[in-house]
Chain A
Amino acid sequence: MCAALFLVPRLLGGQMAQAPPSLTPRDSALHALNRLAYGPRPGDVTRVAQMGVMKWIDQQLDPRHVDDDSLKEIEKGYQILHESSYDLVGLLEDARKAREERLKRDPASVDQPGDQPPKLRRIAGEFPELAVVRAAYSQRQLQEVMVDFWTNHFNVFAGKGLDRALLPDYIEHVIRPRVLGNFADLLIATAESPAMLFYLDNWQSVAPGSIPPNLVRAEIRARSYGMGNSMRLDSAVARQPKGINENYGRELMELHTLGVDGGYTQADVIAAARIFTGWSIEKPRQDPQFVFNDWAHDYGEKTVLGVRFPGGHGRDEGIKLLKMLAMNPATMHHISWELCQRFVADDPPDGCVDDAVMAWKKTNGDIRAVLTAIFHGPDFWARSNLSGKVKTPLEFVASALRASGAEPDTTFRLAQVVARLGEPLYQHVAPDGYHETQDEWVNSGALLDRMNIAVGLAAGRLPGAIVDLNRVVSPMANHDSLVSTIDRQLLGGAMTPHTRQVILDQIKDVSDSNAARNFAVGMALGGPDFQKQ
Chain B
Amino acid sequence: MAITRRGFVRAGGVALFSVGLDPLFMDRAAYALSCRPTVLPSNRPVLVCLFQRGAVDGLNMVVPHGDGIYYQERPRIGVPAKDVVDLDGYFGLHPSLAALKPWWDNKSLAAIHAIGSPDATRSHFDAQDYMESGTPGVKITADGWLNRYCQHDQAHQSTAFRSVAFGPELPRILSGSAPALAIGDLKTFGLRVPQNAQGDRVTRAFEALYQGSATGLLASSSEEGFEAARQLKAADPTQYQPEHGAVYPNGRLGHSLLEIAQLIKADIGLQIAFADATGWDTHVNQGASDGQLSARLKELGDGLAAFATDLRERMSNIVVLTMSEFGRTIHENGNSGTDHGHATAMFALGGPVSGGKVLGKWPGLAPEQRYEGRDVAVTTDFRDLFAEVLTRHLGSGDLGSVFPGYTVDPARYIGAIRA
Task: Flag if B209 contacts A499 (CB, 8 Å).
Answer: yes
Asked if residues A502 and B339 are in contact (CB atoms below 8 Å), the reply is: no
List residues of A (252-283) whose CB comes within 8 Å of B's CBs: 254-255, 260, 266
Say yes or no: B218 contacts A390, CB within 8 Å. yes
Give per-residue flags for A454-467: 1 if the beta carbon is below 8 A from chain B beta carbons, else 0. 01000000000000
Whether A4 is near chain B, meaning CB under 8 Å from some CB there, is no
- Whether, in the assembled complex, A121 has its beta carbon less than 8 Å from a beta carbon of chain B, the answer is no
Interface presence of B235 (CB below 8 A): no
Which single residue of chain B is at the shortest CB-CB distance from A526? B206
Interface segment, B118-126, B241-249, B383-391?
B118-126
CA distance A421 to B168 in the complex (A): 7
Given the complex, which residues of A lie within 8 Å of B229, measured CB to CB? Answer: 448
With a CB–CB cut-off of 8 A, which chain A residues contact B284? 201, 204, 245
B279 to chain A, nearest CB (A): 8
Measured between beta carbons, the chain A residues less than 8 angstroms from B181 are 443-445
Task: Name the interface size band of chain B.
Answer: 35 or more
Q: Which residues of B contact A254 (CB under 8 A)?
A: 123, 125
B317 interface residue, CB < 8 Å from A?
no
Q: Closest residue to B121 on the A side, CB-wise?
A: A260
User: Smallest CB–CB gap between B233 and chain A, Å?
Assistant: 12
User: Does B170 belong to the interface (CB within 8 Å)?
Assistant: yes
B169 touches A443 (CB 8 A): yes
CB distance from A456 to the nearest CB of B (A): 8
Tell me the complex Cα distance, A446–B189, Å: 9
Q: Tell me if B183 is interfacial: C-beta within 8 Å of chain A.
A: yes
A452 at the interface (CB under 8 A from B): yes
B405 close to chain A: CB less than 8 A: no
| A505 contact set on B, CB distance < 8 A | 208
CB <8 Å contact, A439 and B182: no
Q: Tell me which of A245, A445, A455, A528 has the highest count of chain B C-beta atoms within 10 A of its own C-beta.
A: A445
Asked if residues B76 and A528 are in contact (CB atoms below 8 Å), the reply is no
Q: Any chain A CB within 8 A of the CB of B278?
A: yes
Asked if A95 is at the interface (CB within 8 A of a chain B CB), the reply is: no
Q: Is the CB of A245 within 8 A of B339?
A: yes
Known: A452-B192, A502-B205, A526-B206. A444 touches B20 (CB 8 A): no
- Asked if A205 CB lies within 8 Å of chain B CBs, one says yes
* Chain A neighbourhood of B20, CB < 8 A: 384
What's the least CB distance linking A437 to chain B, in Å?
10
Q: B206 contacts A451, CB within 8 Å?
A: yes
Contact B206 A523 (CB under 8 A): yes
For A, the interface residue count at a CB cutoff of 8 angstroms equals 57
Q: How many angstroms from the CA of A519 to the CA of B223 in the assembled complex?
A: 21
The docked-state distance in angstroms from the alpha carbon of A206 to that of B284 is 13
> Most A CB atoms within 10 A — which of B206, B217, B339, B340?
B206
Query: Which residue from A244, A432, A441, A532 sits with its C-beta under 8 Å from B125?
Result: A432
Minimal beta-carbon separation of B210 from chain A (angstroms):
6
Is A442 touching B221 in the complex (CB atoms < 8 A)?
Answer: yes
Known: A201-B283, A443-B170, A527-B209. A451 touches B125 (CB 8 A): no
Task: Write out the residue numbers on chain B whose beta carbons fall within 8 Å of the beta carbon of A238.
Answer: 76
CB of A430 within 8 A of CB of B53, answer yes
Report whether B169 and A266 are in contact in the complex, using a CB–CB cutoff of 8 Å.
no
**From A208, A442, A527, contact of B206 by CB (8 A):** A527
B35 proximal to A (CB < 8 A): no
Tell me, in angstroms, the Cα distance from A138 to B225 when the chains sit together. 34
Contact A528 B122 (CB under 8 A): no
B212 at the interface (CB under 8 A from A): yes
Segment 198-244 of B: residues with Cβ below 8 Å from A: 201-202, 204-206, 208-210, 212-213, 215-219, 221-226, 228-229
Q: A204-B334, A445-B184, A527-B210 given as contacts; is B339 within 8 A of A247 (CB)?
A: yes
Q: How far apart sit A439 and B177, CA to CA, in the bound complex (Å)?
A: 12
Shortest C-beta distance, A274 to chain B (Å), equals 12
A506 interface hit (Cβ, 8 Å): yes
B191 at the A interface (CB under 8 A): yes
Cβ–Cβ contact A506 & B191, under 8 A? no
**Contacting pair A439 B175 (CB below 8 A):** yes
**CA separation between A438 and B221, bound complex, in Å?**
11
A422 to B210, CA, bound (A): 21
A250 at the binding interface (Cβ < 8 Å): yes
Q: CB-CB < 8 A to B123: which residues of A? A: 250, 254, 260
How far, in whole Å, are A201 and B193 apart by their CA atoms in the complex? 47
Q: Does B54 contact A (CB under 8 A)?
A: yes
Q: A422-452 interface mask toward B, CB cutoff 8 Å, 1 = contact, 0 = none?
A: 1000000110100000111111111111011
**Contact indicator A444/B175 (Cβ below 8 Å):** no
Q: Which residues of B contact A76 (CB under 8 A)?
A: none
**A384: min CB distance to chain B, Å:** 7
Known: A254-B125, A422-B168, A506-B201. A498 touches B217 (CB 8 A): no
Contact of A499 among B180, B213, B333, B337 (CB under 8 A): B213
Report how far A427 CA is from B405 CA in the complex, Å: 36
Chain A CB within 10 Å, residue with most, of B125, B191, B222, B337: B222
Complex interface: chain A residues within 8 A of B202 (CB): 451, 455, 519, 522
In chain A, residues 96-139, which have Cβ atoms closer than 8 Å to a Cβ of chain B?
A: none
Q: Is the CB of A528 within 8 A of B210?
A: yes
Which residues on A sit within 8 Å (CB–CB) of B76?
238
A422 — which chain B residues lie within 8 A by C-beta?
168-169, 184
Task: Report which of B206, B278, B335 forms a contact with A241, defined as CB distance below 8 A.
Answer: B335
Tell me the bound Cα distance from A27 to B67 in angstroms.
70
Contact B283 A528 (CB under 8 A): no
Residues on B with beta carbons closer than 8 Å to the beta carbon of A18: none
Which of these, B216, B278, B283, contacts A245 with CB under 8 Å?
Answer: B283
Contact A444 B182 (CB under 8 A): yes
Residue of A243, A440, A502, A526 near B169 (CB, 8 A) is: A440
- Residues from chain B with Cβ under 8 Å of A449 in the complex: 184
B190 interface contact, C-beta 8 A: yes
Q: Which residue in chain A gives the minimum CB-CB distance to B194?
A: A459
Chain B stretch 320-342: residues in CB contact (< 8 A) with chain A:
333-335, 337, 339-340
Given contacts A246-B339, A247-B283, A250-B123, are A444 and B278 in contact (CB under 8 A)? no
A496 close to chain B: CB less than 8 A: yes
Q: How far is the CA of A250 from the CA of B224 in the complex (A)?
A: 39
Contacting pair B333 A245 (CB below 8 A):
yes
Q: Is A368 located at the chain interface by the 8 A CB criterion?
A: no
Complex Cα gap A384–B339 (Å): 45
> Nearest-CB distance from B163 to chain A (Å)?
12
Whether B124 lies near A498 (C-beta < 8 A) is no
Closest CB in chain A relative to B419 CB, distance in Å: 37
**Residues of B with C-beta under 8 A to A447:** 218, 221-222, 225
Q: Are B210 and A443 in contact (CB under 8 A)?
A: no
Is the CB–CB distance between A243 and B334 below 8 Å? yes
Say whether B221 contacts A429, CB under 8 Å: no
- Mask for B334-365, Cβ within 8 A of A = 1, else 0? 11010110000000000000000000000000
Q: Does A531 contact B (CB under 8 A)?
A: yes
A503 to B221, CA, bound (A): 21
Contact for A506 among B53, B190, B205, CB less than 8 A: B205
- In the complex formed, the residue of A with least CB distance to B202 is A455
Q: Are B190 and A448 in contact (CB under 8 A)?
A: yes
Q: Specify which chain A residues have a CB less than 8 angstroms from the CB of B212 in the assembled complex.
A: 498, 502
Q: Are B209 and A502 interface neighbours, CB within 8 A?
A: yes
- In B74-104, the 8 Å CB interface with A consists of 76
Within 8 A of A (CB), among B18-49: 20, 24
A420 within 8 A of B: yes
- On chain B, the residues within 8 Å of A244 by CB distance are 333-334
| Pair B191/A448 contact, Cβ less than 8 Å | yes
Q: A254-B125, A505-B208, A527-B210 are in contact. Are A532 and B215 (CB under 8 A)?
A: yes
Per CB-CB distance, the 4 closest pairs between chain A and chain B, nearest first, are A444-B225, A243-B334, A242-B334, A422-B168
14 example contacts (A-B, Cβ-Cβ < 8 A) are as follows A206-B334, A241-B335, A245-B283, A245-B333, A443-B169, A443-B180, A445-B182, A446-B184, A447-B225, A449-B184, A498-B212, A506-B205, A522-B202, A526-B209
Given contacts A245-B334, A429-B278, A455-B202, 17 further A-B contacts (CB under 8 A): A238-B76, A266-B120, A429-B279, A432-B125, A438-B218, A442-B221, A443-B181, A444-B182, A444-B221, A444-B222, A447-B221, A452-B191, A498-B209, A499-B213, A502-B209, A523-B206, A527-B210
